[in-house]
Amino acid sequence: MLEAKALKCRIFRLVFHDRDQYVCSYTLLHLTNIRMSFSNLQSARKAKESKLKSCVGAAASPSSKQDDREVGTNPQAMEIARPQGNPAVNAEVENSKPVSLSGLHKDLPSTLEVRQGKDTGRGLYARDRLVVGSILFATRPHVSVLSTPQLESYCSYCCSAAPSQGLKRCTRCRKIWYCNATCQNADWAEHKHECSALQRWQANAPSPDLSIPSDAIRCLGRILWGIQRTGLDSIWTREFSGMQSHRSSLPPSAFESHTHLAHSVVRYLGISSPAELAPFGLASAGDLVDLISRFTTNTFTLTSPSLTPVGICISPTMALVNHSCEPNVVMVFPHTPNALSSQEPLMHLIVIREISPGDQVFVSYVDTSVPRDLRQKELKETYNFVCHCSLCIRQTEVDPRTAMSCPKSCGGICPLPTEENDVTQCVKCKAVVTSAGAVLDAVRVGNEGLQKAISLQVKDPAKAKQLTSNLIPIITSAGLTPSAHPLLAMTRLHLELLLSAIATSISQDVLDEAIRTSAKYNEGLSNVLPYGHPVRAIAVAELGKLLAVDEPSPRHISSLDESTQFTQPAQSQSTPSGPTRLKLALETLIRAREELNIAFGKGTGGGLAGKEVREGIVRLESEIGQWTRGIRNAIEDARAAGKIAK
């Protein structure tokens, strides 16, 4: 009995230590970048639509005014892919020519070479065979900055989460925080100019909420002071200047946002005449737009070890990697437990699909769990190219991102109907979908609701949760599969909101709902992302952690029936309890450990996320051992007392 009580005292942190309720997930960051058009609505569907909309409106509030401080920020999600069966990309491989590095990019390993493709520009190509889970290379970015809401939660030098004793603030600008004096001293060369610029910016800010410039402005400031500090001929500056720019082909909308950002940067630097631009290598306003185009095209999202986006960074060597929606490498920041903080943040390029000699390595610049048209739109708008990767040109299969279940429930799937083609049928039994109009309405309302819920997530999480709670059943009952857009994204957002709610007060119902939602999210992800993809690995770990949380109500004491299986929790609306749940938690964490080892590199042991999961496994194994011994002792006591037959 004592041992059973010890089990109740389990303390297992629910989510990864660097998550907090005001942080969007990796996936959501990209969802926020997607703007959707709903202009071509068919009038015949209006009545049905307004009925569905009334449900959305119930939880929605007016959208907030666009915050112009974020203009120009284009963080990339970096995954990676292999050009299997992709004639366009394979032709690139054959037609590419080696590029001389002229003493630049010394951080590039000998396993990789730079080649120039006809349509894709420079790219990285493998010289050797590279296996899944191997670290292609790791490098510290030239420049990294935290996003404004993260400044007080992460060290501005090594980008680690605040230690238990808290961070220390720069006493001059009072805006930038560090782990300790070592990190502060290491950052001083970069922070020196920034420190005065931040003070100046605050003094002139029209309101307190505008007292810190956006991460884009701060990042560009650090780049320009870096150019000034190292000199125009330095390797640092030459690598930076060598990055791709789309200055000559910018669409008018991008030109406008770049110009807006340029004005803010000039103000931040305290520049009052064109002559003052010279030490930064800028001869004209056009050069500044060029710099901003390079910044936009080559910036990466800086993420925590569990993929929370915390800022942006630039590494000219990493920026040589081209894009595919079916990538063969991913870019992550595992925060290797025994790395020196002076080396962090270390960007790692990890192989997630086997690479052969001569293959080009590809990351994904966008969220690959969303459908082709959304990926293409973002790639065109932000990176100025049309993607012809293997995933984008594949036409034969039903894409799980745009799939619905068979209307006759035969187990097969159908492509989702579209505005252009609303005739669709099950690929297995050929049953025709007769409710195409209703499905289209549900998808449309789901997309609108998703945007509203994202905008409400920070301001009013309760309303956002009400919205996702209302919409998920509507989209699900229209027949969308868990991997289909917008259901997968909505499920992720709902999970985030539930985790935030649990972080403040835990109840059995919310915990059970979070477990069911997490299981559904994992099911959806497994159909759109390959095994070992970091987003998938973190999602499995999150489910394992949820299963391992103490159940607030003691129902598991009386539910020792191990026959309760947890196969389809979201469908059955029941979650396992007691020892069944514990065993499932252990199995899930073991699965997470394997996937994290690939996702964040075998050499890093899955990074900090892997370390946390391994510690969780050890705790659970010991608790399950205590349970087993406790039950055995209780049975022996009962036998000795003659209450049960020997």
Ligand X SMILES: C[S@@+](CC[C@H](N)C(=O)[O-])C[C@H]1O[C@@H](n2cnc3c(N)ncnc32)[C@H](O)[C@@H]1O
Contact residues toward ligand X (CB under 6 A) are: 119-123, 243-244, 297-298, 319-320, 322-324, 383-385, 387
Least distance to ligand X, CB of residue 333, Å? 18
Least distance to ligand X, CB of residue 316, Å? 9
Least distance to ligand X, CB of residue 240, Å? 12
Question: Bridge partners of 161?
Answer: 154
Q: Closer to ligand X by CB, 319 or 404: give it.
A: 319
| Residue-wise burial string across 184-205, b where 16 or more C-beta atoms lie within 10 A, e elsewhere | beebeebbebbbebbeebbeee
Nearest Cα residue to 285 out of 326, 246, 255, 252: 255
Q: Closer to ligand X by CB, 335 or 353: give it.
A: 353
- Taking CB atoms, the residue at the shortest distance from ligand X is 121
Q: Closer to ligand X by CB, 322 or 481: give it.
A: 322
Torsion sign (Cα): 436, 439, 440, 441: positive
46 dihedral zone (left: phi>0; alpha: psi -120 to 50; beta): alpha
* Matching residue, tokens 């079916």: 326
Q: Closer to ligand X by CB, 105 or 593: give it.
A: 105
Helix (H, G, I), strand (E, B) or coil at 245: coil
Q: Closer to ligand X by CB, 323 or 465: give it.
A: 323
Q: Closer to ligand X by CB, 123 or 606: give it.
A: 123
Asked if the peptide bond before residue 486 counts as cis, ω within 30 degrees of 0, the response is yes
Q: Cα(348)–Cα(601) distance, rounded to whole angstroms? A: 8
Least distance to ligand X, CB of residue 285, Å? 22
Q: Closer to ligand X by CB, 197 or 320: give it.
A: 320
Least distance to ligand X, CB of residue 146, Å? 22
Q: Closer to ligand X by CB, 114 or 416: give it.
A: 114
265: Cα within 13 Å, side-chain hemisphere: 30
Radius of gyration (C-alpha) of the chain in whole angstroms: 26
Q: Quick check: 389 and 89 in contact, CB under 8 A?
A: yes
Least distance to ligand X, CB of residue 363, Å? 9
Least distance to ligand X, CB of residue 286, Å? 19
* Type of residue at 527: N
Q: Cα(511)–Cα(514) distance, rounded to whole angstroms? A: 5
Q: Closer to ligand X by CB, 121 or 473: give it.
A: 121
Question: Bridge partners of 350?
Answer: 135, 330
Q: Closer to ligand X by CB, 98 or 121: give it.
A: 121
DSSP-assigned letters across all residues of 301-324: EEE-TT--EEEEEE-TTGGG-EE-
Q: Closer to ligand X by CB, 116 or 230: give it.
A: 116
Q: Closer to ligand X by CB, 250 or 584: give it.
A: 250
Least distance to ligand X, CB of residue 247, Å? 12
Q: Cα(564)–Cα(598) distance, rounded to whole angstroms? A: 31
DSSP-assigned letters across all residues of 330-389: EEE----TTS-TTTPSPEEEEESS-B-TTPBPEE-SS-TTS-HHHHHHHIIIII------
DSSP-assigned letters across all residues of 50-81: HHHHHHHHTT--PPPPP-GGGTT--------B
Least distance to ligand X, CB of residue 80, Å? 11
Least distance to ligand X, CB of residue 388, Å? 7
Least distance to ligand X, CB of residue 320, Å? 5
Q: What is the DSSP pairing of strand 362-363 with strand 322-323? A: parallel
Estimate to the nearest angstrom the gap between the alpha carbon of 413 and the chain centroid: 27
Q: Cα(173)–Cα(205) distance, rounded to whole angstroms? A: 14
Least distance to ligand X, CB of residue 387, Å? 5
